[in-house]
Copies of this chain bind each other. A is one copy, B any other.
Amino acid sequence: MIIVFKQNAKENEVKRVLDKVEKLGLKTHISQGEETLIVGLVGDTTRVDPKRIEVEESVERIMKVSEPYKLANRAFHPEDSVINVSGIPVGGKALTLIAGPCSVESKEQVLEVARRVKASGANLLRGGAFKPRTSPYSFQGMGSTALDLLVEAKEETGLPIVTELMSEKHIDEFNDKVDLVQIGARNMQNFDLLKEVGQRIKKPVLLKRGLSNTYEEWLMSAEYIMANGNPNVILCERGIRTFETYTRNTLDLQAIPVLKRLTHLPVIIDPSHAGGKWWLVEPMAKAAVVAGCDGLMIEVHNDPENALCDGPQSLKPDRYDNLLKDIRKLEAVR
């Protein structure tokens, strides 16, 4: 961190700031230029809130030099993390393929979809049990019943299961039944939930990017989970909110190479939620693969016309099957 002082900063004001900085446990390195006094701070600046220095009247601005996250930072962990999801490695060479319905609606539906995506080559089964819905009047998911149906599907197909945790009150149940615990976009900065997940969830966590959160905020949320005890975090880009309304959200595929540089954590892409239209899923899934993602999370439904949730963005099993064939070819040359 670097402090740039105002040109007319008085000596006693500067001293006051330097004393404060030293009380925060940092050393200072002073550089008096012709016009400007610049002070570099040496030490663990992740523990220092820049606003506590920026508030001083003599300070022109504060500049961060190093990232504010540590455990998630590639600088301190240069090799890629490979995270074990009940035997399936996420990260590293292989592509992880997560598929399944937006929400679990019945035993027949989830079993049928599970069999189909397994046959196509998926590694993990997704399915919503507790659903975050904008309207209190929309279908809110089948809850615990859905978890049990997912477990049945897992028993039959062998596919470990991924589903979203929306409240700390379900943590024990998720530890029992779920293989990869998803934190949704709208809870990315639900810091109390992140802490609980860090401390009490014994399974890997799939952390979706918030609708308007920066890469840095996203990695800080991963850091919350990691600093609270759970190092197994997988990141999932699912589209960000922009001015464009034709698509549900704008898929940010630059996130893949950027995150690969900033962090060692695996990066999954969810093209279904990003675009909100099934015909955007195929080109975006393929694009994500060649851009270097570690996996794809795709919504597949055997009967989208009657889906209780997000039908327009769901692929039918046949289309998913074709998509995976294309992806295998791209994987060979990416």
Show the binding face of A for B, using Cβ within 8 Å: 2, 4, 20, 27, 29, 31, 33-36, 38, 40, 42, 46-47, 49, 51-52, 54-57, 60-61, 63, 65, 68-69, 130, 132-139, 166-169, 186-187, 189-193, 195, 211-212, 214-217, 220, 223-224, 227-228, 240-247, 250-254, 256-258, 261, 274-275, 279-280, 283-284, 286-292, 304-312, 326, 329-330, 332-334
Contact = CB atoms under 8 A, between A and B. Distances in A.
A286 B250 CA distance: 18
B242 A254 contact: no
Contacts of A190: 166, 186-187, 190, 193
Nearest to A184: B189
Nearest to A312: B55
A2 B245 CA distance: 19
A30 B168 CA distance: 47
A258 to B, nearest CB: 6
A211 B214 contact: no
A31 B40 contact: yes
A244 B250 contact: no
B333 A52 contact: no
Nearest to A194: B136
A283 B267 CA distance: 14
Nearest to A328: B333
Given A46-B137, A65-B60, A138-B49, A240 B244 contact: yes
Contact of A167 (B137, B168, B186, B275): B168
Nearest to A249: B254
Contacts of A280: 254, 257-258
B167 A312 contact: no
Given A214-B245, A290-B330, A283 B308 contact: no
Nearest to A258: B246
A254 to B, nearest CB: 5
Contacts of A186: 189-191
A31 B34 contact: no
Contacts of A69: 135
Contacts of A279: 257, 261
